[in-house]
């Protein structure tokens, strides 16, 4: 008897959801940075455990949205939870029960009605064990979690126990993907995300939140390599200058880092071409949202 089901990973921005998804899948499917609001849409990664196929759904962090994009991201995250068989709430061990976590617990009163919710206290490598016991008690007094796990998504501690528990919780049924598939996301989007990760790591302050990357063209070449053309949309002329950098240094470094990661991911040579376009209104442009995998209407 096989099992298959969806497990949504939810939590505040930066909780480590994407890091956990990548560890569960065993490959880098979702981008990770030290900055908040890195993930913008739902990203599916597939993991096998015994006879169970667990489809992990990484979601954007839950926060109080201000802009249209923020609202669409938060809606995508709650939508991921509402569609899942099991929900895992990630919190950061060293930050404890923040206001943001309290707000998520309020949201869970509804979402939790139709499905089990597990708590994963992440980043346990950053705290003493006494802190963990107190936090576990506090969180379980606030919400009836089906189970509590203490993990380090980055180091791997406790992750196998979570995986084995989830494998038993998802419903019986045939697998949803071929056994060797690890992601359900168009390649052009994975490629755009890789470039956005490298940009986010290099750019400061608000700029990462005011740009988006799209793959415009993907050409398979006869020699087995791929030519990938991407556009970086920014909202101001000044931002274009910053993304390009002095003598084009920044964009060159970003392009090199993204290309190297793509080469490795695809297992073949990639020629990556990046172009920067100024689009003052891209944050209110429906087409940009569908390219990101978001629903424009959710941001209204």
Ligand X SMILES: Nc1nc2c(ncn2[C@@H]2O[C@H](COP(=O)(O)OP(=O)(O)OP(=O)(O)O)[C@@H](O)[C@H]2O)c(=O)[nH]1
Residues at the site binding ligand X, with contacts judged by CB under 6 A: 11, 13-19, 32-34, 36-39, 60-61, 122-123, 125-126, 152-155
Q: 201: annotated binding-site residue?
A: no
| Partner from Mg ion, ligand X, none binding residue 33, C-beta < 5-8 Å depending on class | ligand X
CA distance 151 to 19: 12
Q: Is 15 annotated as a binding residue?
A: yes
Residues within window 5-24 making contact with Mg ion, judged by CB under 5 A: 17-18
Burial of 219 (0-12, 13-18, 19+ CB in 10 A): exposed
18 is in an annotated binding site: yes
For residue 233 the two structure tokens come to 């949309």
Phi-psi region of 158 (alpha: psi -120 to 50; beta: other; left: phi over 0): left
Instruction: Tell me if 123 is assigned to a ligand binding site.
Output: yes
Q: How far is the CB of 264 from Mg ion (least distance, A)?
A: 20
Interface residue with Mg ion, options 5, 11, 39, 111 (CB under 5 A): 39
Give 12 or 251: the residue with its C-beta nearer to ligand X: 12
Question: Is 173 flagged in the annotation as binding?
Answer: no
- Give the whole-angstrom CA distance, residue 182 versus residue 29: 8
List the single partner that 14 binds among Mg ion, ligand X, none, CB under 5 to 8 Å by kind. Answer: ligand X
Question: What is the smallest separation between the CB atom of 277 and ligand X, expressed in angstroms?
Answer: 25
**Least distance (Å) from Mg ion to the CB of residue 293?**
13
User: Which residues, other chains included, contact 264 with Cβ-Cβ below 8 Å and sequence gap of 6+?
Assistant: none
Per-position DSSP letters for 224-260, written without gaps between them: S-EEEEEEEEESSHHHHHHHH-GGGHHHHHHHHHHHH
| 178 annotated binding-site participant | no
- Chosen from Mg ion, ligand X, none, partner binding at 126 (C-beta under 5 to 8 Å by type): ligand X
**113 known ligand binder:** no
Q: Tally Cβ neighbours within 10 Å of residue 166.
A: 25
Facing residues of 226 across strands? 220, 270
**Residue 61 Cβ, how far from ligand X at the closest point, in Å?**
3
Helix, strand, coil tally for the chain in percent (to 5) = 45, 25, 35
Question: Under the criterion CB under 5 A, does residue 122 sit at the interface with Mg ion?
Answer: no
Q: If contact means CB under 5 to 8 A according to the sort of partner, which of Mg ion, ligand X, none does residue 123 touch? A: ligand X
Cβ(139)–Cβ(119) under 8 Å?
yes
From the annotation, which residues make up the binding site?
11-18, 58-62, 122-125
Q: Which residues are annotated as a binding site for GTP?
A: 11-18, 58-62, 122-125
Q: Which residues bind Mg ion (CB under 5 A)?
A: 17-18, 38-39
């Amino acid at each position: 008897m096989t099992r298959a089901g969806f497990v949504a990973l939810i939590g505040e921005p930066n909780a480590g959801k994407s890091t956990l998804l990548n560890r569960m899948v065993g490959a880098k499917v979702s981008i990770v940075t030290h900055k908040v609001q890195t993930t913008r849409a739902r990203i599916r990664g597939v993991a096998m455990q015994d006879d169970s196929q667990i489809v992990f759904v990484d979601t954007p962090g839950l926060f109080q949205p201000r802009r249209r994009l923020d609202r669409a991201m938060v809606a995508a995250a709650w939508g991921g939870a509402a569609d899942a068989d099991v929900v895992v709430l990630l919190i950061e061990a060293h930050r404890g029960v923040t206001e943001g976590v309290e707000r998520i617990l309020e949201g869970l009163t509804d979402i939790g009605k139709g499905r089990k919710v597990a708590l994963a206290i992440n980043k346990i490598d950053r705290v003493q064990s006494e802190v963990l016991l107190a936090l576990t008690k506090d969180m379980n007094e606030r919400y009836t979690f089906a189970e509590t796990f203490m993990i380090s998504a980055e180091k791997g501690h406790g992750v196998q126990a979570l995986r084995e528990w989830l494998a038993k919780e998802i419903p019986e049924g045939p697998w949803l993907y071929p056994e060797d598939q690890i992601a359900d996301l168009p390649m052009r989007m994975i490629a755009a995300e890789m470039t956005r990760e490298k940009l986010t790591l290099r750019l400061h302050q608000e700029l990462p939140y005011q740009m988006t990357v799209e793959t415009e063209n993907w050409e398979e070449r006869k020699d087995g390599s791929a030519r990938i053309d991407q556009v970086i949309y920014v909202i101001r002329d000044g931002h274009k200058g910053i993304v390009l950098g002095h003598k084009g240094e920044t964009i060159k470094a970003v392009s090199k880092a993204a290309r190297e990661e793509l080469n490795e991911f695809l297992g073949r040579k990639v020629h990556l071409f990046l172009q920067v376009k100024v689009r003052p209104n891209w944050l209110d442009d429906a087409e940009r949202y569908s390219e990101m995998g978001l629903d424009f209407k959710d941001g209204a």
